[in-house]
Amino acid sequence: MLSMDDASSASPLLAARTPAGGRSHAADARVLAAAFLFVFSAYSAAQNLQSTVNVEGDLGTVSLGILYTSFTLFSVVASPVVAWLGSKRALVVGTSGYVLFILANLVPTWYTMVPASVYLGFAASIIWVGQGTYLTSAALSHARDNDLPEGPTLGNFNGEFWAIYACTQVIGNLLSLALLRNGKDGGNVTGKNMLFVVFLGCMIMGIVLMCLLSKRDEKEINSPVRSSFRAMLKYIVSPLKDRRMLLIIPLMAYFGLQHAFVSAVFTKSIVTPVFGVSGVGGAMAIYGAADAICSLVAGCLTSGFYSTIFIVSFGAVVQAVVLFWLLLFYSPMVGFLGAVVPLFIGALWGVSDAMLNTQLNALIGLLFEDAKEAAFAQYRVWQSGAVAVIFFLSPHITLHAMLILMITVLFISFGTFLFLTTAVEKSSTLRS
């Protein structure tokens, strides 16, 4: 737990010096968070609806599988692309893929959804590497300019960003709940089209905010990847030579699995049988609210390496309890209790997602400060690859088989995370 002096010094978003001639680093982080709030309020809700709205030939689920396969492949080369473009331009360009995906949902056919999903995979790879790079750069610059410890500062920046980002599940899904309330079976075409038009407006607002971001000084970052193809290739694969990266990869993959589980399995197998398609928005709004509140709390509680171990461990235990309970005891119920249980599961999953997300992003930023793009690109490779697996598997395997897969990967990833903590303690590679 932070002392009062430490807590005040590690609260970077409350008071900040403004760099000469520009917006403060904390203000940039807030503009970035606001842009993502608009873009992903639309996209997150649209993704949650794919398995229940675009059901013909499993179009929605297959499109998401293609999207995340594309995301995985393009993430391999996303770091030099972001270094070449600069993180601000990468964020703006990346948003275009989300706009195209929303447009495709207005006329959902294999000829519109598949190309849009492939392009969104590329766009997502650069927007997320750009996000990780931009936010980490802002946090570290803020810490240095204000003589603050880097670890707690990164925790606070990540906590606030992910708390705001988690609100996307609340806003987008409440819009879904309102506009699809008369379409229990997903057949309300007018409501669905109106919803996606609103989503398109949110995307445009997000692009405007992305354009307002300050350009960050990235000369030192860009130089190693512009010299030659060989240097670029070395830059991409160099994190895989680091034992710390190899030990954290299983947790990156599990984070992707658990995130996709909510959209592809939880909404279809647990929420829809009880509430119908129109209830997906309400259940996911509760998930998002729990995620937002806990992201902010987890960020404030991040005071160093040991706090990260505790928070990740608690999040893993919560998810293990939920998964085992679903596997051994859950069956759809009627009445009040039957309605409360899916909502309670969603809230618990939101709490644990926030704990894993804030700590994993902060840890990557600290461990791989000198190769941020490459490290965050590796994160997106493994995360998106795991997401693709869930979307491709979910139409073809039972809920129990999916739960067994999740539990197995959770135990493996948490075990390697514990090995990582030992390796970091011995080498003292984490900054305070």
DSSP 365-388: HHHTGGGHHHHHHHHHHHHHHHHH
Q: Which residue has the higher pLDDT, 265 or 411?
A: 411
Q: What is the pLDDT of residue 222?
A: 43
Q: Among 227-231, 269-273, 312-316, 403-407, which stretch is predicted with the lowest mean pLDDT?
A: 227-231
Q: What is the pLDDT of residue 226?
A: 46
Binned at pLDDT 50, 70 and 90, residue 415 comes out as very high
Alpha carbon distance, N-terminus to C-terminus of the chain: 14
Q: Which residue has the higher pLDDT, 256 or 375?
A: 256
Cα torsion 245, 246, 252, 257 to 10°: value is 170
Q: What is the pLDDT of residues 49-104, one digit of tens each?
A: 787 777 677 788 888 889 988 988 888 788 888 888 888 899 999 999 999 999 99
Residue 278 vs residues 116, 206, 271: alpha-carbon distances, Å: 25, 26, 10
> 226 burial class (0-12, 13-18, 19+ CB within 10 angstroms)?
exposed
Q: Are 388 and 348 in contact (CB under 8 A)?
A: no
Handedness of CA 60, 62, 65, 70 (dihedral sign): negative
Q: What is the mean pLDDT of residues 312-334?
A: 89
What is the residue-averaged pLDDT of the chain? 81
Residue 308 vs residues 10, 349, 362: alpha-carbon distances, Å: 15, 18, 9
Q: Are 376 and 125 in contact (CB under 8 A)?
A: no
Distance CA 12, CA 29 (A): 11
Is residue 379's pLDDT more than 90? no
Q: What is the mean pLDDT of residues 398-414?
A: 93
CB contact set of 20 (below 8 Å; sequence gap of 6+)? none
Is residue 150's pLDDT more than 50? yes
Binned at pLDDT 50, 70 and 90, residue 121 comes out as very high
Q: Are 180 and 192 in contact (CB under 8 A)?
A: yes
Percent of the chain with pLDDT over 90: 25
Binned at pLDDT 50, 70 and 90, residue 347 comes out as very high
pTM: 0.71
Q: What is the mean pLDDT of residues 285-290?
A: 88
